[in-house]
Amino acid sequence: MKIAPLMAEYERYPEIEPTLVHTGQHYDTTMSQVFFRQLEIPEPDINLGVGSASDAAQTAEIMKRFELLLLTHRPDAVLVVGDVNSTIACALVAVKMGVKVAHVEAGLRSFDRTMPEEINRVLTDAVADYLFVTEPSGVENLKNEGIQDEKVFFVGNVMIDTLLRNLKKAAASTILDGLRLKERGYALITLHRPTNVDGPETLRRLLQVFEAIGCELPVVFPVHPRTRKNISAFNLSPLDGKVQLINPLGYLDFLKLMGSAKIVLTDSGGVQEETTILKVPCLTLRANTERPITVKLGTNTLVGTDPGCILENFTRVISNHDTSFETPELWDGQAAKRIVEVLLKKLRRTAMVEPDNKGNTDV
């Protein structure tokens, strides 16, 4: 979702020769391949095929395979997105080999070092040469961490580029009919973070809350593979029919489902952003968020995992029909354009300062 608008923007510039690398960190068909197809992303030039492993093992394996790739390709820059293990692994390899690193979605902070994603974010930003920021808090966070101003660019949100470009396609989805749901007549749930799904007590408590919500409003729950595995491993209740459990969805069906919901409950950072644009109230099942703009503008409420707090805010939200939320600054569908313009300017300048042995200055 973050790469799609960038790949499309690259096509406008013949001097850019992008090599698309899929590390294989996300390999499930419904979590990877369907997104390439629906978002019209070109097939990856290279798939490192890393697969699943512990954080340390996965990061190390990506680094080993990506190093071999850089030795043969020698790019002018490596662009990484988000905050997953692939992000920090590829950034570390690149910077140690003297290759410029661009980080898309830089500066976001939850200030919770128990989150693996937070560690990835902080470390990637520390080594990146070009830091592309989605919201004002990111600029402030990077300043507080001593990042030079000339490295930081407030460009907007590529996730929103993708959302806005696909709204019409998503509108044609028949997912509501297939699930027998009515517009604004149901709650949507997503849940995948280790702190919520890897402990039996927390996961049990959340499932019980979802069941209680199901007594008030139809609930649909696309279940992440990690979450489904743990529900089974912990022998937890399948929610007694109060919640409609379904498999993960492709991007267009999920966008339709999210945009038509009465309320969304999630622990996903991306969903917090998307519901903000869609004007759908969101309850975030975490004590913190690295997307504070969504809370500031009123679309998102942090409720943690306490059943009482979740149910209290659920009741408050579904009884409030005001959806006149503001749109965050620069979330206008043009973030990829701004990013590529900066990269071209910076890399052209680098090429002029550091010509190759033949005196060429091509990027």
- Nearest CA-CA partner of 314 in 237, 219, 246, 221: 219
C-beta neighbour count of 67 within 10 angstroms: 16
The helix or strand, by DSSP H or E, that contains position 325, with its residue range, turns out to be none
Task: Show the DSSP H helices in the chain as ranges.
Answer: 4-10, 33-38, 55-73, 85-96, 116-127, 136-144, 158-171, 175-179, 194-197, 200-214, 225-233, 251-259, 269-278, 292-296, 307-318, 335-353
DSSP 149: G
Q: Evaluate whether 361 touches 355 at the Cβ level (below 8 Å).
A: yes
- Nearest CA-CA partner of 200 in 243, 230, 237, 240: 230
Residue 110's identity, in one-letter code, is: S
- Active-site residue (options: 22, 192, 224, 321): 192
Q: Evaluate whether 268 touches 192 at the Cβ level (below 8 Å).
A: yes
Distance of alpha carbon 280 from alpha carbon 335, whole angstroms: 22
Q: Evaluate whether 101 touches 130 at the Cβ level (below 8 Å).
A: yes
Distance of alpha carbon 81 from alpha carbon 361, whole angstroms: 27
Distance of alpha carbon 116 from alpha carbon 197, whole angstroms: 15
- The answer to whether 73 is a known catalytic residue is no
Secondary structure (DSSP) of 87-122: HHHHHHHHHHTT-EEEEEEET-----TTSHHHHHHH
Q: Which amino acids are annotated catalytic?
A: 192
